[in-house]
């Protein structure tokens, strides 16, 4: 439990439920704001993580001043953002979602967010890290439990997002056809992905041994596995494998797309497998994939062959 409420800034013991519930209990109007954000996120088809990230940062801000966030003035908001920036232990993501959360709340309420003098957040032009084949094998070998190997196997072998692998249901895996039905991914879109023989065998073995009821990977409450639990599985495997790269669950998705591209799969097919809305999002992997040296030729030679 959090023991200090003087700043409202995050501590290692904080989690999403705790900080948002604190703000709902202590700050007048925050509970209503949260309910309105939840409704708006649901109606517009945004992911649940959007609600999580925005409401958590607004809760920190509300507790810092013990005041409804949209009642603050520009000086108070700027002082808070300066405090976040000046703390070396606070991540850039924390700062970014504070700004985005305020913008979202203002738009939802029909307010002009420029009143808070919010800074522009420049999009990072940074290529994602990817694993090579040996590193993926090392991750899988480092897992002591079949459950953990399957989680990593689905993130890499099917390019699933963290939220998607957590919510895979037994009925979604058609082992006879070798297909996985991903339901309500980002943007509330369904898609189907080839499982492959290894994952089909692993899932069949796991179901036979564990007997999950609804979700393939169940949490303590019988629902899908938690985000923190899924991230822990990957983090522990990375440590045991001795991989020095910064690896998260999404790194496995990046590796999936990059390796498919390197093995000759059309980028338009990869776009559909990943569930991307725009080809521009998928095209980042063109900058990561190792270029193929097969069938490289000079266009000058083919130009004169045409005659």
Residues that are catalytic = 161, 186, 250, 253, 276, 285
The backbone torsions φ and ψ at residue 202, rounded to the nearest 5 degrees and listed phi first, read -65, -45
Q: How far apart are CA 112 and CA 293, in angstroms?
A: 53
CB 53 within 8 A of CB 99: no
Q: Which residues contact 180 (CB under 8 A, 6 or more apart)?
A: 154, 158, 168, 172, 173, 174, 192, 193, 194, 195
Q: How far apart are CA 284 and CA 254, in angstroms?
A: 10
CA 174 to mean position of chain CA atoms: 25
The backbone torsions φ and ψ at residue 275, rounded to the nearest 5 degrees and listed phi first, read 80, 25
Q: How far apart are CA 89 and CA 93, in angstroms?
A: 12
Q: What tokens appear for 187 in the block?
A: 């943007």
Q: How far apart are CA 213 and CA 200, in angstroms?
A: 18
Tell me how far apart the 2 most distant CA atoms of the chain are, in Å.
Answer: 81
Q: How far apart are CA 220 and CA 124, in angstroms?
A: 37
CA 101 to mean position of chain CA atoms: 17
Q: What tokens appear for 94 in the block?
A: 């924390």
Helices 30-43 and 16-26, axial angle in degrees (round to 10) = 130
């Amino acid at each position: 439990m959090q023991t200090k409420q003087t700043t409202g800034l995050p501590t290692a013991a904080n989690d999403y439920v705790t900080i948002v519930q604190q703000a709902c209990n202590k700050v007048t109007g925050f509970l209503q704001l949260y309910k309105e954000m939840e409704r708006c996120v649901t109606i517009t088809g945004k992911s649940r993580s959007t609600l999580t990230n925005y409401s958590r940062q607004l809760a920190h801000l509300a507790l810092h001043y013990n005041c409804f966030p949209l009642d603050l003035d520009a000086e108070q908001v700027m002082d808070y953002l300066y405090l976040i920036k000046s703390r070396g232990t606070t991540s850039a993501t924390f700062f970014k979602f504070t700004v985005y959360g305020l913008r979202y709340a203002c738009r939802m309420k029909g307010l002009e967010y420029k009143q808070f003098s919010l800074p522009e957040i420049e999009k990072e032009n940074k290529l994602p890290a990817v694993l090579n084949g040996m590193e993926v094998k090392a991750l899988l070998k480092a897992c002591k439990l079949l459950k953990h190997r399957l989680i990593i196997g689905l993130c890499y072998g099917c390019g699933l997002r963290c939220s998607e692998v957590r919510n895979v249901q037994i009925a979604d895996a058609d082992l006879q056809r070798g297909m996985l039905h991903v339901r309500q991914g980002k943007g509330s879109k369904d898609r189907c992905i080839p499982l492959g023989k290894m994952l089909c065998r692993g899932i069949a073995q796991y179901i036979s041994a564990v007997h999950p009821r609804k979700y393939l990977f169940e949490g303590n409450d019988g629902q899908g596995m938690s985000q923190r639990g899924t991230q822990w599985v990957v983090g522990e495997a990375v440590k045991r494998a001795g991989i020095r790269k910064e690896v998260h669950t999404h790194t496995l998705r990046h590796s999936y797309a990059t390796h498919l591209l390197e093995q000759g799969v059309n980028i338009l097919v990869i776009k559909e497998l990943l569930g991307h809305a725009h080809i521009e999002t998928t095209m980042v992997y063109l900058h990561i994939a190792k270029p193929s040296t097969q069938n490289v030729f000079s266009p000058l030679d083919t130009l004169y062959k045409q005659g």
